Chain A
């Protein structure tokens, strides 16, 4: 965390990957960039390409179909990279634990650097956690 903050110093770009979420977390992530929360003022942006970013923002339990795309997206991010797991499902599969289509939580697939619990987490919670990464 400290290391990432020192590296980014006020500029953090992330690629959002929905690994099988119910879209509750997506609603909160979308509202982060609304005029109320305005995450961009802290130098934090969501980008379209994994090549352009410092890390991934992963939501939802990792489903069987998304495990491989998620891993490939992770490998496409240049070093050094961070993984942020957003929401209870990303941390421990939440209500989807044990479901037939679910392979596991995000930390079963890749190392997680920052976990943001909540079902769904409040936009302000996500922003304050990301500010720790951005160093703002």
Chain B
């Protein structure tokens, strides 16, 4: 650990970040489902319904397709583990987390991509038609969203002269004027489109679809059961909350704890909770209003995100 904070504060922040992501992820999914149901005129399940589902799934039988290999079984673990690493090192509550030196934006993005790639491998491993179809679709979208995300992130790291997330967040707090520059706004839009694509939400993918032919992400997890499925659902919700929290920290950093102390950390917890909940509610409301894009229109959307990200980089280089 290279954090400048006293050890008890660093440990407390690390525990809070990991617990917040593990418990907050399913709650965020429940909140988004609730908002969606309310907007559709329904009461909807309680906000903690995903936690009830996980508790039940964790105790059910795990099944494995006849022809699947060990890859199928390690996918849920890798998915959750990579996300846990991000939850530990990313500056979600404080600008000086434990192992903050390793929280490089590129490293975090590729940690997240490891999760996407193993999911696709697990889907191919089942040997079913829908698994292969879902994997090929997810990789097509991933191949388009990854460069857009990388270039958007590059635009953020240019003015901060660092790709270390805690440094970027700390310097943005020191220079609030950065947050309204054209490169920030352009990369914000690109980042948002990529979050929607990577987390498999509308208009790119419909998480509640029952039609196998329209599935992208759901088609990849059709064969998982019991505790494996619980881990995958948990991992997916953790990825969503981590993406939204990173977005909040990079573009709306106010409230994050910049100094050790109970008061600062409490403010940090409340701030990140409120920001992520607000983003989740906005995303859910947006999902009710839009229809799913035809699969062949998705590349156009992601190409748009890429163009915005390139413009952000150009603007970051021209207008320092």
Chain A residues with a Cβ under 8 A of chain B:
7-11, 13, 35, 38, 40-43, 46-49, 51-52, 54, 76, 78-80
Contacts and interface: CB of A to CB of B under 8 A. Distances in A.
A43 B52 contact: yes
5 contacts: A8-B56, A41-B43, A48-B209, A48-B218, A80-B61
Judged by DSSP, the binding face of B is loop
Contacts of A38: 37, 42-44
A30 B109 CA distance: 41
B24 to A, nearest CB: 19
Given A11-B55, A40-B37, A41-B44, 5 more contacts: A38-B42, A41-B43, A49-B221, A49-B222, A52-B225
Interface of B: 37, 40-46, 49, 52-53, 55-56, 59-63, 209-212, 215, 218, 221-226, 229
A11 B44 contact: no
A78 B218 contact: no
A7 B222 CA distance: 23
Contacts of A35: 40-42
Contact of B229 (A40, A46, A51, A80): A51
Given A48-B210, A51-B223, A78-B63, A11 B42 contact: no
B45 A43 contact: yes
A7 B56 contact: yes
B42 A51 contact: no
Contact of A41 (B45, B55, B222): B45
Given A38-B42, A40-B44, A48 B222 contact: yes
Contacts of A49: 221-223
A66 B304 CA distance: 47
B225 A40 contact: no
B224 A51 contact: yes
Contacts of B215: 48
Contact of B42 (A40, A43, A54, A79): A40
Contacts, number: 72
Contacts of A8: 56
Given A35-B41, A38-B42, A40-B45, A11 B226 contact: no
Contacts of A52: 222, 224-225, 229
B40 A51 contact: no
B66 to A, nearest CB: 12
B93 to A, nearest CB: 30
A41 B53 CA distance: 13
A8 B57 CA distance: 9
B52, B212, B215: residue with the most chain A Cβ atoms closer than 10 Å:
B52
A131 B52 CA distance: 15
Nearest to A34: B42
B206 to A, nearest CB: 11
Contacts of A40: 37, 42, 44-45
A80 B52 CA distance: 17
